[in-house]
Chain A
């Protein structure tokens, strides 16, 4: 404690500078955590947070009773792993291509065009998908029938949807992630490249031996950050693309859509909080574990 005070005294200014951020997280993240208590109560408008009746783990029952939790958790985690890995790798590649492209105008234009999908709302993505794949006059089926091929009922088969969903997720986030990696590439000092060129390294060797290793910390950091949310499904994407189509749920139902579907009819704050707590708790466990492993392997890449 004493040393902390000394430390504080020595770095007054630094502590002052971090104070706003700390305050922000205390006010908007830590204080609201009290609301976790809702997960253990039967909410009533009279009682509010602490006046409502305490019912223990009863709110969690709907998740466990129905026996679908395993399938939901599996779907959510697998989708997120696919999202994280494919997105990051493609973003990394695009950033490297872009950084090596000659012609500033072309590079900037490409970058902007890639960024555009980031601003498209998921409602629109849902509309795109429906217009591409619907059975009556969807683009794909129209093309198939024009070519004399049999049409395919996308909305009754589960198989293609894994790929469709992953594709649209990657498409939407590509530009944004590329910019992050591009920034990391730009921060690599020119001296390395010049030295390598003098030694006769070609472009592939430079990418392989300079850019790639220098990007590993960024790559790991981004992956670690996204792992925390691995049990949180991307609700907007799944809900807009799949909607109420029960036929597709076996391969597309994630925790968030399940919770929405179960509770949309019977709005229940307690059960909603319970589901959120389940997701956050396992996200927390996961990030601690992964960070622990990374610290064992390469301690300087670990988050904390």
Chain B
């Protein structure tokens, strides 16, 4: 009897475990089914509603929905409060709530790719030319918005300039709503101006004065001038110095040899300019302008400047403003200067409108409502201020001198206040110039004159429109990418013992990886695009 009871109870336990697991799995499965059928009917009713609304001119918002949004980067500590406030407003005005998610900056490319590939239900996501907007749009990851925009985002549809829409168009469809925020972002370096004056070094105007400056601070201050990862500093300088215009992604080796001869397309490691540069960089490295471990270093060179251990840091023009203004509060005794590389050839190109944009993934359950929220966000100052600058009083206060502008953190905040901080998330995707309440480049006084300089020498960006998804040459492209890192980067940083031998190896490896196939493919695509744009 006792034995029977025991075996019975074992059986019972086993059955219970089975059931729990089955229930867990089954529960998950049926849940999914429910939501998917739910969204199915929802889209149906909404498309049904569309016909009505086309007549009435007012979209149907009777059904309450929750939207799922993704932005890049990290949330601010006040983000939950801000979003709560936002949702109150949204619920009242549009009968929706939004769950705002962030990818964080760590490995954001991988996460971003996975979000789109996994088919997660996302109603709106940040998109950008530097986050492979064109590739994803081409592969069908985003929803075409042409038909939806006039109905669900009428104000945005009217206010975004024609050219901006054109830049967001892929194969005849608009896949993203670009931010309306024209910018110039030429690469350049910020440097310790006070040290330059103190040591009596020449003004930085060209490559020789940069070298003189680096040498001067290296010897005069006994520090490593570019103290951290230095690849960006050097690689962007290389491109700008030689007037090479990179085509087909920031990481490749294919460039147009100059802006004026866009069809002269080459792989830069095979040019004599690269050879000269490599020798120069070897000299620079041997003089100790950066450390031999620079490629493994994870630290930004900018952090070393703050501690007095470095002098030079790569920034684009608005980024330089942000960095310099930041230093003014943390290290007021440091005086910085800025040299934009665009001065090598007196040439700047405006960024594409889709440099920052918001797109709707194909998987979106409620694209219509999401567009309505975006329209509100871009055009209603109450929404715009909240989602860009946070809460008034906590994160900012209105500038008493000029009420168009605001002060971040609120005026009169003591320096070590942890509660009142200036709000900052990657809100670039829905930025609108006319709605902005802070000056570009964080109010950096020198920025206005730089902007005049950039505008005077500005030429249209003819390269950004070259659309590529690399599908026919992707295995070669993958192999080339790997070769660049293994052989190219050490040469660029002057870390190899014998430059000529290293360049020969690099070229051989590139060729066997298939760089010529990639080059031919890019040439073909670029020429097609130049033909369309009417450029010789």
Chain A interface residues toward B at CB < 8 A: 12-13, 16-17, 19-20, 23-24, 27, 42-46, 48, 58-59, 61-62, 65-68, 126-127, 130, 133-136, 153-156, 242-249, 253, 258, 261-269, 271
Shortest Cβ gap from B111 to chain A (Å): 11
Bound-complex Cα distance A62 to B514 (A): 10
From A13, A244, A267, give the contact of B296 (CB < 8 A). Answer: A244
- Give the bracket for the number of chain B residues in contact with chain A: 35 or more
Q: Is the C-beta of B476 less than 8 angstroms from some C-beta in chain A?
A: yes
Using A13-B11, A134-B297 as known contacts, say yes or no to A265 and B487 having CB atoms under 8 A apart.
Answer: no
Extra A-B contacts (6), CB below 8 Å, given A17-B14, A155-B292: A13-B10, A13-B11, A44-B140, A245-B293, A245-B490, A267-B109
* A243-B479 CB under 8 A given contacts A13-B7, A45-B139, A264-B110: no
**Which residues B437-480 have CB closer than 8 A to chain A?**
470-471, 474-479
- Decide: A45 near B140, CB < 8 A? Known: A134-B297, A244-B485, A271-B478: yes
Roughly how many angstroms separate A242 CA and B495 CA in the complex, as a whole number?
A: 15
Residues on B with beta carbons closer than 8 Å to the beta carbon of A258: 482
Q: Which residues of A contact B495 (CB under 8 A)?
A: 156, 247
Contact, CB under 8 Å: B291 / A262: no
Residues of A within 8 A of B136 (CB): 45
B499 at the binding interface (Cβ < 8 Å): no
Residue of A nearest to B20 (CB): A20
Set B15, B25, B490: member contacting A16, Cβ < 8 A = B15
Q: Are B116 and A245 in contact (CB under 8 A)?
A: no
Q: How far is the CA of A261 from the CA of B298 in the complex (A)?
A: 17
- B292 near A135 with CB under 8 A, answer yes
Collect the chain B residues with CB atoms within 8 Å of residue A268's CB: 474, 478
CA distance A266 to B470 in the complex (A): 9
Task: Give the secondary structure class of B's interface.
Answer: helix
Tell me how many residue pairs across A and B have CB atoms closer than 8 Å: 145
Complex: how many Å from CA A239 to CA B116?
A: 25
A112 to B301, CA, bound (A): 39
Residue of B nearest to A127 (CB): B298
| Of the residues A20, A27, A61, A156, contact of B17 by C-beta under 8 Å | A20
Q: Tell me the bound Cα distance from A261 to B483 in angstroms.
A: 9
Whether A262 pairs with B296 at a CB distance below 8 angstroms is: no
Asked if residues B296 and A65 are in contact (CB atoms below 8 Å), the reply is no
Q: Which residue of A lies closest to B112 (CB)?
A: A267
Q: Let me know if A249 and B486 touch, CB within 8 A.
A: yes
In the bound complex, CA of A242 to CA of B15 (Å): 50
Cα A284 to Cα B467 in complex, Å, equals 41
A20-B17, A265-B481 known; A243 and B116 CB under 8 Å?
no
B141 on interface, CB distance cutoff 8 Å = yes
Q: How far is the CA of A229 from the CA of B259 in the complex (A)?
A: 51
The 8 nearest A-B residue pairs measured at CB:
A62-B475, A155-B293, A262-B478, A66-B479, A16-B14, A267-B113, A246-B486, A245-B295
Measured CA separation A267–B114 after assembly (Å): 9
Q: Is the CB of B485 within 8 A of A246?
A: yes
Complex alpha-carbon distance, A243 and B132, angstroms: 23
Report 14 cross-chain contacts, Cβ distance below 8 Å, ordered by A residue: A17-B17, A20-B17, A45-B117, A136-B227, A155-B295, A156-B292, A156-B495, A246-B488, A247-B490, A249-B485, A265-B251, A265-B481, A266-B474, A271-B474
Contact with A along B12-31 (1 / 0, CB 8 A): 00110110011001000000
**Chain A residues, Cβ within 8 Å of B94:** none
| Residue from the list B14, B231, B293, B476 in contact with A136, Cβ < 8 A | B293
Among B21, B119, B249, B514, point to the contact of A20 (Cβ < 8 A): B21
Nearest CB on B from A13, distance (A): 5
The residues of B that contact A66 with a CB separation of less than 8 Å are 479, 482-483, 512-513
Query: For residue B227, which residues in chain A have a CB less than 8 angstroms away from its CB?
Result: 136
Q: Are B478 and A16 in contact (CB under 8 A)?
A: no
Which of chain B's residues 11-66 have a Cβ closer than 8 Å to chain A?
A: 11, 14-15, 17-18, 21-22, 25
A-facing residues in B110-140 (Cβ within 8 Å): 110, 113, 116-117, 119, 132, 136, 139-140
Cβ–Cβ contact A263 & B478, under 8 A: yes
Decide: B488 and A16 in contact? CB cutoff 8 A: no
B148 to chain A, nearest CB (A): 18
| B293 x A135 contact (CB < 8 A) | yes
Q: State which of B110, B231, B291 has its C-beta within 8 Å of the C-beta of A135.
A: B291
Cβ-closest chain A residue relative to B107: A264
Expressed in whole angstroms, the minimum distance between the Cβ of B433 and any Cβ of chain A is: 32
Q: How far is the CB of A97 from chain B (nearest CB, A)?
A: 36
Q: Does B379 belong to the interface (CB within 8 Å)?
A: no
Q: For A17, what are the chain B residues with a Cβ–Cβ distance below 8 Å?
A: 10, 14, 17
A132 to B366, CA, bound (A): 52
Nearest A-chain residue to B137, judged by Cβ: A45
Q: Are A265 and B224 in contact, with the CB atoms below 8 A?
A: no
Q: Which residue of B lies closest to A270 (CB)?
A: B474
- Of A23, A44, A154, the residue contacting B293 (CB under 8 A) is A154
* Cα(A261)–Cα(B487), bound, Å: 13
Whether A136 lies near B513 (C-beta < 8 A) is: no
Contacts of A43 in B (CB 8 A): 117, 139
Residue B489 is within 8 A (CB to CB) of chain A in the complex: yes
A182 to B109, CA, bound (A): 43
Name the CB-closest residue of B to A133: B293
User: What residues of chain B lie closer than 8 Å to A265, measured between beta carbons?
Assistant: 249, 251, 477, 481
B139 proximity list for chain A (CB < 8 A):
43-45
**B481 and A67 form a contact (CB under 8 A):** no
The residue of chain A having its C-beta at the shortest distance from the C-beta of B513 within the complex is A66
